[in-house]
Amino acid sequence: MTRQSDSQSQKQTAAHVSASTIHSTRPVALLIPVLIATVIGQLMLMFRCPPSELAQRMNLDSFGAMAMSSGFWILLATLLVMIWKMVLVARYRPTPAPADADLPSLTVIVPAYNEGAQVLKTIESILKSDYPAHLLQIVSIDDGSRDDTWHWIQKGCDLDRARVIGVRFTKNRGKREGLYEGFRRARGEIVVTIDSDSEILPDTLRNLVAPLVADPTVGGVGGNVRVLNERGLIARMLDVWYTFSFEFMRASESQVGTVSCCPGALSAYRRSLVDSFREEWVSQTFMGQPAAIGEDRAITNLVLRRGYKVLFQSNAIVLTEVPTRYVQLCKMLLRWARSDVRESIVMARFLFTNFREGSLIGTRVNFFWSLLQMVLASLMFLPAVLTPFLAPAAIPVIAASLAAGAILPGGLYLCLRRSAKAVFAVPYMALAVFGISWITPYSFLTPHKSSWLTRTLPATAQAPVVQLPQPSLSGRLPKESGQQLAA
C-alpha cells in the first residue's frame, strides 16, 4: 500500500471513530440486569449442584475439585465487583470542553524511537487540532533512532516552525529521558504526552484538558485509546479489549478519582505538578537499576501520591498502532505486566495513608481487586492451561466460562460501538487463557528486567545531532535562533 493510500485509510478510520463513538456510557446500564441475572443463575446452580458434587460427577481428583470450587467463588466475586463497576460506568460523563477563553497553554511532547514516517503523521494530527494556535507548543524528541525518524521530525518542524521544535539525542536514552527533555523545555501550563505511533482527532486536546480546567484538584487526565491499524485478527481483538480497558475499567476508576495509569499514548498533567517531581521520576530505580519501563504508571503514581485526582476523559480520543503479530503482542504485554508489578508495590506504600481528602474506599477496592487478579492469574496459569488435557470432561465448563467472560467486554463494545465486531471478544478470551496467560506469572519472576523489547533495529551510523529553533507560545520564533546540541 502506498503512503498516500495508507494516509487516506487512516483518515477514514479517524472519521469513523469520531462518528461512531458514543461519549455517554448510559447504554452500559442495559448490561446490569444481564450480570445480575448471571449472579442469580450461578447461585441457583451452586445451590442445586454444589461445586464439590459437580467435581465428583466429573471424576475430578482432590486438586481439580478444589480448583473448581475456588473458581466458582472467584467467578461470583468477579460478577459482584463488575456490577459495582458497571453502576459507576453508567453514571460516568466526560467533562464538557471549555470555551476558548478558558483554555490553558499546552506543550505537547512526542518522544520517538525508530518510528519512521509515522511520527510526521502524529505531528500533523496535532497541528490539525482545533486548539488555538498561540496556545500550542509541540516538542518532538528523536531518542537516538537508527532509522530515518529524525528526517520525518524535521519535516514536521517545517510544517510550522513557530510551534514545532525537534530535539535529537546522540544515542538512545529511553522514553523516560525523552519525556523528561520535553518536560524540561515545556512552557505550557499543561503538558500533554502523545506516543509517536499515535494520531489524535481535531477535538482531542480541547476535550483532554477539560477536567484540569474544571477542577483544580485534578492533576492528571488519561485519554481514550483506540486502535489505528485495525487489520488482522489480533488488532480486531485488541480494539474490543481496549474499549473494555478504557471505557469500562478506567471510566469506573475515574468515578472514584483514581485512574491507576494515564496511558503513554495520550495523557495530560499540570506542568507545575510535573516540575515538582520530574527529577525524582526520571531518576527512579527498581532493585538498584534505573527504571526504564513503566514511565506512564510511575508518573500517575506520583500525581496521586501528592493528593491529586487522576481522571479519564472518554471523548479525548487517540488512535494508536497496536501489535498485529503474536510475538509483538507478548512483548508489549510483558513490558506492561512488569511495570504493573513494580508500580503496584509503589502504590501500596501510600495507598493506606490519607494521601487525599475524601473517601478512598473505591480506590482501595480497585487496588485490591487488581492485585487479586494478578495473583490469581499467576496461580491459575498452569491449571487453566493443563485442565483440557488432564480432564477433558471439563472442556464444556471451560468453553462456557470463556463465553461468559466475553459477555461483558463484547456487550460493552456492542453498546458503545453498535458493531458486530463485538464477537472478537470471544477469541480474545481464548487467547487470554491459552496464549498470553503465562505473561503475568513470568512478570512476577522477572520484574527487574527493563528491556523495552520493541522498536529495535540493527546498528547503523548516526547523523549529526541538532535542535531546531525553539518557538514560543505566542506563536513567534525567539529572537535568537540557530542550532544547539541536544541536552
Instruction: Give the Cα separation of 100 and 462 in Å (integer).
Output: 43
CATH 3.10.50.30 fits 100-325, yes or no: no
Written as nine digits, the cell of 166 is 525537534
* Residue that is written with C-alpha cell 546540541 in the block: 485
When mean pLDDT is compared across 8-12, 368-372, 470-474, the lowest value belongs to: 8-12
What is residue 462's predicted lDDT score, i.e. its pLDDT? 41
Cβ neighbours of residue 286 under 8 Å, at least 6 residues apart?
342, 447, 448, 450
Q: What pLDDT band is residue 463 in, cutting at 50, 70 and 90?
A: very low
Specify whether the CB–CB gap between 136 and 129 falls below 8 A.
yes
pLDDT number for residue 68: 63
pTM as predicted:
0.86
**Average pLDDT, integer, range 42-62:** 65
Phi (first) and psi of residue 44, to 5 degrees: -65, -40
When mean pLDDT is compared across 1-10, 362-371, 432-441, the lowest value belongs to 1-10
| Confidence bin at 63 (pLDDT 50/70/90) | low
What does the pLDDT look like over 12-50, one tens digit per residue? 555 445 444 545 556 677 777 777 777 677 666 666 666
Domain boundaries, the chain: 26-91, 100-325
Question: Tell me: the pLDDT tens digits for 270-295?
Answer: 999 999 999 999 999 998 899 989 99
pLDDT tier at 484, thresholds 50, 70, 90: very low
Confidence of residue 57 (pLDDT cuts 50, 70, 90): low
- For residue 48, with 0-12 CB atoms within 10 Å meaning exposed, 13-18 middle and 19 or more buried, which class applies? exposed
Residue 352 DSSP one-character state:
T
User: What is the model's pLDDT at position 61?
Assistant: 63
Instruction: Supply the mean pLDDT for the chain.
Output: 85
Q: Name the one residue in this structure whose C-alpha cell is 487463557.
A: 433
| Higher per-residue pLDDT: 464 or 158 | 158
**pLDDT of 240 above 70:** yes
Confidence tier at 477 by pLDDT (50, 70, 90): very low
Could you read off the pLDDT of 114-141 as tens digits, one per residue? 999 999 999 999 999 999 999 999 999 9
CA R_g for the chain: 23
Helical packing angle, 395-417 and 425-434, nearest 10°: 130
- For 307, other C-beta atoms within 10 Å of its C-beta total 13
CA-nearest of 454, 461, 467 to 146 is: 461
pLDDT band at 354 (very low <50, low <70, confident <90, very high): very high
Is pLDDT at 469 greater than 50 in this prediction?
yes
- pLDDT by residue (tens digit) across 157-213? 999 999 999 999 999 999 999 999 999 999 999 999 999 999 999 999 999 999 999
